[in-house]
C-alpha cells in the first residue's frame, strides 16, 4: 500500500470517529411523550420529548388483540416500544411508564426485547384522544403470545401514557 493511500485511510477513519452522532431532533409540536433517566439522546434539557409527528415517523406496527378494556378485539397501531427507546439511546433494566393521571407501571426492559410491545397511538385507525385512552397506550401482543394474558401483564398496559423514566 502506498504511503498516500495509508494516509488517506487513516485520515478518513479519524474524521469518521470525530464526526458528531445524529442527535434526536427537537419536537416541533406539543410534546405528547417525555422520556428521561438513563438515555443518551436528549432534545429538551435532560429529557427527550416527542411530538405526534415524531412518533408517527417511526416504523408503525399493527396488532389486533382482545383486551379486558374492550368488548371485542381491537386493532392497535404505533411504533414498537423498543424503537422509541432506541431513538433515545435508552440503557437501563426497567421502565416506569406514567399516565396523565399519574398511574404508573414498572415494565422490565426485557419485555421489549422478548415481545413486540407497541406504544399505540391509534385504535382501529383512529388517533387516540385523551378521552379514548390517548395519547399513547402500551399494548402487548396478547393474540400472538397467549401466556401474556395475565393480571400482571395487563397492569403494564398503561393508557394515557405521557412520561417514561428509564432506570
Q: What's the Cα-to-Cα distance from 137 to each of 49, 51, 165, rounded to whole Å? A: 17, 15, 16
pLDDT tens digits, 31-69? 999 999 999 999 999 999 999 999 999 999 999 999 999
State residue 158's pLDDT score. Answer: 98
Strands 161-166 and 31-37, sheet pairing: parallel
Q: Is 85 left (phi over 0), alpha (psi -120 to 50) or beta?
A: alpha
pLDDT tens digits, 109-146? 999 999 999 999 999 999 999 999 999 999 999 999 99
The structural domains of the chain, ordered by start, are 24-166 (3.90.420.10)
Can you give the pTM of this predicted structure?
0.85
Amino acid at each position: 500500500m502506498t504511503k498516500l493511500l495509508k494516509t488517506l485511510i487513516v485520515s478518513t477513519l479519524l474524521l469518521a470517529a470525530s464526526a458528531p452522532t445524529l442527535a434526536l431532533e427537537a419536537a416541533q409540536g406539543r410534546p405528547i411523550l417525555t422520556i428521561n433517566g438513563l438515555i443518551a439522546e436528549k432534545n429538551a434539557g435532560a429529557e427527550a420529548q416527542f411530538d405526534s409527528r415524531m412518533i408517527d415517523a417511526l416504523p408503525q406496527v399493527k396488532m389486533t388483540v382482545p383486551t379486558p378494556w374492550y368488548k371485542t378485539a381491537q386493532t392497535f397501531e404505533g411504533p414498537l416500544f423498543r424503537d422509541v427507546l432506541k431513538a433515545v439511546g435508552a440503557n437501563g433494566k426497567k421502565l416506569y411508564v406514567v399516565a396523565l393521571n399519574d398511574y404508573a407501571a414498572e415494565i422490565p426492559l426485557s419485555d421489549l426485547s422478548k415481545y413486540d410491545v407497541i406504544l399505540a397511538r391509534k385504535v382501529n385507525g383512529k388517533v387516540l384522544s385523551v378521552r379514548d385512552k390517548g395519547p399513547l397506550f402500551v399494548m402487548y401482543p396478547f393474540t400472538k403470545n397467549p401466556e401474556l394474558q395475565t393480571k400482571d401483564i395487563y397492569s403494564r398496559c398503561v393508557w394515557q401514557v405521557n412520561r417514561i423514566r428509564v432506570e
